[in-house]
Amino acid sequence: GLPPYDPNNVFAKILRAEIPCRKAGENDHALAFHDINPQTPVHVLVIPKGAYVSVADFSATATEAEIAGFWRLVGQVARELGLEGGGYRILSNMGEDGGQEVPHFHVHIFGGRRVGRMVP
């Protein structure tokens, strides 16, 4: 099952501005910032402002306004960073088998070069 939400995970600290981030966008329900260890020329993380461990509890328990705000920011940030022309990839790791490292739900946006097809 899911672990309980850890309020001291690194993204919770970013949301509380206890550690800095390079912001890429924000709305009432979500925050976007550049990954500290980028894997592509553009590598942004989008997180809900609410306390959700992964897509499992976000999809099951977030409000419709939170879900809408989150996905609107994903598309908005990709557009504002100029990724719509060439295209990009979004990805979310979930749990141990998914290789999730930070236990606060997030989607990666990869772009700025040809990222090819998904290979697990």
**Type of residue numbered 59:** S
Least separation in angstroms between CB 111 and ligand 5GP: 14
Q: 104 an active-site residue?
A: no
CA–CA separation, 30 and 38 (whole Å): 20
Work out whether 37 is an interface residue with ligand 5GP (CB under 6 A): yes
Binding mask 90-109 for ligand 5GP (x = CB under 6 A): ---x-----xxxx-------
**CB-based contact 74:107 (threshold 8 Å):** yes
Interface residue with ligand 5GP, options 25, 33, 47, 48 (CB under 6 A): 33
Least separation in angstroms between CB 71 and ligand 5GP: 17
Work out whether 31 is an interface residue with ligand 5GP (CB under 6 A): no
Number of H helices, E strands in the chain: 4, 5
Complex with ligand 5GP: residue 17 or 85, whichever CB lies closer: 17
Residue 17, Ramachandran bin (φ over 0: left; ψ between -120 and 50: alpha; else beta): left
- Which residues are CB-contacts of 6 (< 8 A; sequence separation ≥ 6)? 12, 103
Q: Which residues bind ligand 5GP (CB under 6 A)?
A: 10, 19, 21, 33, 35-37, 45, 93, 99-102
Residues belonging to the active site: 106
